[in-house]
Amino acid sequence: MLLSAEHLSINFGSRQLLDDVNFYLNEGDKTGVIGINGTGKSTFLKVLAGTIEADRGRIARNPNVQVSLLSQNPDMDDEATVLQQVFLHFPAEFRTLNEYEAKSMLMRLGLSDFDQKIGTLSGGQRKRVALAAALIHPADVLILDEPTNHLDSEMVAWLEDWLRRFKGGLVMVTHDRYFLERVVNHITELSRGKLYHYEANYSKYLELKEQRAEMAEASERKRQSILRVEREWIMRGCQARTTKSKERIQRYESLLNQDAPETDDSLQLSASSSRLGRKIIELDHVSKAFNGSPIIQNFSYNLLRTDRIGIVGRNGAGKSTLLHLIAGELAPDSGTVDMGTTVKIGHFSQEGRELDLNQRVYDFIHDIAEEVKTDEGTFSASQMMERFLFPKDLQSVAIGRLSGGERRRLYLLSVLMEAPNVLLLDEPTNDLDVMTLSILEDYLQGFPGPILIVSHDRFFLDKLAESIFEVREGEVIRYTGNWSDWQKKRRAEEAPVKAEKPKTVQERPREKKLKFSYKEQREFETIDDDLAELEEKVAQCQAAQNACGSDYVKLQELQEEQERLEQVLEEKTERWMYLTELKEKIDAQNG
């Protein structure tokens, strides 16, 4: 055992974040901690790492066990260089031995200027420096809080591989469901101050959690049935004259005092938008450069009402710049951005609104709109906050008392309160819990206008995107399909082209009379029907994926089935081309 925590309790103001919980980490355990924003996940990690103390309980670890922590908002020295920060708490000999590995890691994380001062970095760059510092630590236990935030797809894939090979114990908070599926072997859910442990990855956890909920419901139904029988017995006026009668009354009172199983509040979203006219946003040969470096070059596109576009690319490629150009918040150097008169943009940016930390939660939302109309009716600002998991007592607190995830959820609500009809979302999944993400995905699928999403969340883009725009070296390249489709096409583009073997030229080629074999003749007669049947199966598989909702396991199975069908379809198409060409040659030969 690397680490144990027993009978931990911790209060934060009026909130009971941890209530007499236990946690154990053995060598090889890779635990994903999940739960709704504001339940205390980050606090739990800090308690495990020893940076804060619990009100009650104890943490035990072997004295020789080394722990490395990546916190959600790491403390850093603004005057230190990137490389100095990575080795800030290590002796000079350690830096000498590990400097090459650290530089290689920083390069992987998109940080090539090792002498740049920390104070000049963006928030995302700072988090990546802190991640490198946590990983370079020769630790037995890694504790990571949202390690995938601010990483692009290539960086996430590299980190996923690195953590899968890590031999020690891992505890991390992350919203990345592919990460939870492929890296962790334990899920710990924090709910209402309690910890629920599952020896499972993400898909198995969903299955086990449903079983636990069904068992709790069955137990509650049984309790209510017994209570009904016992209540009738009590109401008949039976007196506690005998020992058996006294025991029966005590059992009744004990059952009566039992609490019903608690369930987590769930986020409720309803699509609300303003009317959208025929003309939306038209970009015509738009270009933008910064300090002489082209970011977007000669880009044209007419936004359609049904667009569901995922925007990908390396960090710094210009994804956020593209969204700012589309929103009209940034003027292009050349070209035009023409916006329809009915367009009302909801722009969820990485930077977010400037939040007054002293302002009450209720006042912030009420100042934007007193009410909002949805498909389910009209809701007041207070009602919408409750649907976004801000109960009455939380509405009255200052924004500064909210967790990072709760502030992101509040910002998301502020965007939707304005009833936009075009959504531009820049890294919307950062700091949002997996439960909220699932509800947000369902909401976006029902949104009536176009949606453009910059995200590194592969699961999110697989579920929502119908086309991908990759920003690469100033060019915006379009791909049909979701994130997985784009990844396959990019791999195919980057695969080395196999050199064709030179054909031996015969001086006197013998003429051979062309003809179908019996098998080829039968195949040629049926191949058109075979192709039509395969195309229909691919279409059915795609439709099933769109209809499977948040069922991750089913979605994964359908994606694998579609990939298999497309491979068969490609092979069958090549065979059809060969047989068709052969038939044409036979017909020409026979006159």
Per residue in 475-493, pLDDT (tens digit) is: 999 998 888 888 888 888 8
The owner of tokens 């005092």 is 257
> Over 60: is that where the pLDDT of 422 sits?
yes
DSSP 141-154: EEEEESTTTT--HH
Residue 144 half-sphere exposure toward CB, CA atoms < 13 A: 30
The owner of tokens 């699961």 is 459
> Over 80: is that where the pLDDT of 354 sits?
no
> Over 90: is that where the pLDDT of 89 sits?
no
> Over 80: is that where the pLDDT of 229 sits?
no
The rounded distance, in Å, linking the Cα atoms of 527 and 573 is: 9
Q: How crowded is residue 246: how many other Cβ atoms within 10 Å of its Cβ?
A: 12
- Contact of 471 with 313, CB cutoff 8 Å: yes
The rounded distance, in Å, linking the Cα atoms of 462 and 466 is: 8
pLDDT in tens, 445-460: 878 889 999 988 888 8
- CA 590 vs CA 515, 584, 586: distances in Å: 10, 10, 6
Section 277-289 average pLDDT: 89
Section 300-312 average pLDDT: 90
Q: How crowded is residue 406: how many other Cβ atoms within 10 Å of its Cβ?
A: 24
> Over 90: is that where the pLDDT of 31 sits?
yes
What does pLDDT average to over the chain?
81
> Over 70: is that where the pLDDT of 78 sits?
yes
| Percent with pLDDT over 90 in the chain | 17
Burial 413-450 (b: 16+ CB within 10 A, else e): bbbbbbbbbbbbbbbbbbbbbbbbbbbbbebbeebebb
Section 334-348 average pLDDT: 89
The rounded distance, in Å, linking the Cα atoms of 31 and 294 is: 43
Section 429-435 average pLDDT: 77
The rounded distance, in Å, linking the Cα atoms of 213 and 539 is: 35
The pLDDT assigned to 53 comes to 87
In sequence order, what are the residues at sequence separation of 6 or more whose Cβ sits closer than 8 angstroms to the Cβ of residue 345? Answer: 327, 328, 420, 422, 423, 424
The pLDDT assigned to 246 comes to 61
Instruction: Write out the two tokens for 76.
Output: 């850093």
Q: Which of 94-103, 411-420, 452-461 has the lowest mean pLDDT?
A: 411-420
The pLDDT assigned to 144 comes to 94
284 strand-pairing partners: 336
Section 221-230 average pLDDT: 64
**Bigger pLDDT: 129 vs 495:** 129
- Contact of 168 with 27, CB cutoff 8 Å: yes
The rounded distance, in Å, linking the Cα atoms of 494 and 329 is: 35
The rounded distance, in Å, linking the Cα atoms of 489 and 481 is: 10
Section 311-337 average pLDDT: 89
- Contact of 21 with 194, CB cutoff 8 Å: yes
**Residues 198, 204, 207, 212: what is their CA dihedral angle, to the nearest 10 degrees?**
-10
Identify the DSSP state of 550: T
N-terminal to C-terminal alpha carbon distance within the chain: 83
Which element (helix H / strand E) includes 125? Answer: helix 123-136
| Percent with pLDDT over 70 in the chain | 83
- Per-residue 3-state assignment (H helix, E strand, C coil) for 338-405: EECCCCCEEEECCCCCCCCCCCEHHHHHHHHCCEEEECCEEEEHHHHHHHCCCCHHHHCCEHHHCCHH
The owner of tokens 């991908």 is 468
The pLDDT assigned to 334 comes to 92
> Over 50: is that where the pLDDT of 507 sits?
no
- Contact of 25 with 4, CB cutoff 8 Å: yes
Section 235-254 average pLDDT: 59
The rounded distance, in Å, linking the Cα atoms of 526 and 563 is: 23
The rounded distance, in Å, linking the Cα atoms of 275 and 449 is: 9
Section 222-248 average pLDDT: 60
The rounded distance, in Å, linking the Cα atoms of 254 and 337 is: 69
**Bigger pLDDT: 577 vs 187:** 187
In sequence order, what are the residues at sequence separation of 6 or more whose Cβ sits closer than 8 angstroms to the Cβ of residue 346? Answer: 415, 416, 418, 420, 422, 423, 424
> Over 50: is that where the pLDDT of 505 sits?
no
The pLDDT assigned to 591 comes to 63
Tell me, rounded to whole angstroms, the distance of Cα 519 from its chain centroid.
Answer: 50
Give me the count of residues in the chain: 591
> Over 90: is that where the pLDDT of 37 sits?
no
The pLDDT assigned to 61 comes to 82
Sheet order of strands, 186-191 included: 67-70, 141-145, 169-173, 30-34, 186-191, 194-198
**Bigger pLDDT: 533 vs 591:** 533
Percent helix, strand, coil in the chain, to 5, is: 45, 20, 35
Section 413-425 average pLDDT: 86
Q: Which of 4-8, 154-158, 255-259, 464-468 has the lowest mean pLDDT?
A: 255-259
pLDDT in tens, 9-19: 988 776 788 88
pLDDT in tens, 544-588: 877 766 566 677 777 778 878 877 877 777 777 777 777 777 777
Q: Which of 27-36, 75-84, 265-274, 411-420 has the lowest mean pLDDT?
A: 265-274
The pLDDT assigned to 502 comes to 53
**Bigger pLDDT: 443 vs 322:** 322
Section 262-277 average pLDDT: 57
Section 97-122 average pLDDT: 88
Q: Which of 100-109, 131-140, 205-214, 423-432 has the lowest mean pLDDT?
A: 205-214
